[in-house]
Amino acid sequence: MWASGIGDDLSNKPKDLTEEQYEDWRSCLLRGYERLCPRDKNLAVVLYEVDVKASARFHTSKWLSSPISENVNGSMAIIFGYGGDEETGLKGYRLLGAQLEAIEKDFDGTIDVELIDITETLPARTYVFD
């Protein structure tokens, strides 16, 4: 899967951006995608279900065991929400996805993945002090 057609439909352009600003944003986004996953590769993704407002962060074992300097690839990340709260997985919970790494298009192996953390969004509370 590669992010093709991003921003091609100018009817979805935010009204507060000029066409030039939108094109600058779009080209920056596409350059980021290209660094994250070159066009000749696919992006490996972990799909997971959550029953609360939460998100998870995963890394491959290969990434975790590599030197720190090799792990720095910029600040771009892709967060997948498959249809928002409507899309559900096998157990009926909200389905989300997290990027792993670029892989060859004909990849037919396994990728060791480790769950790093889970972030849960808690409902807001209001405290009144007299």
HEC states along 7-20? CCCHHHCCCCCCHH
On the question of pLDDT at 114 being above 80, the answer is: yes
Give per-residue pLDDT as tens, 51-70.
Answer: 888 888 888 888 888 887 65
Give per-residue pLDDT as tens, 94-109.
Answer: 888 888 888 898 999 9
Rounded distance between C-alpha atoms, residue 115 and residue 65, angstroms: 14
| Phi-psi group of 74: left, alpha or beta (phi > 0 → left; psi -120 to 50 → alpha; rest → beta) | left
What's the pTM? 0.61
- Tally helices (H) and strands (E) across the chain: 3, 5
Nearest one of 112, 80, 83, 85 to 97, comparing CA atoms: 80
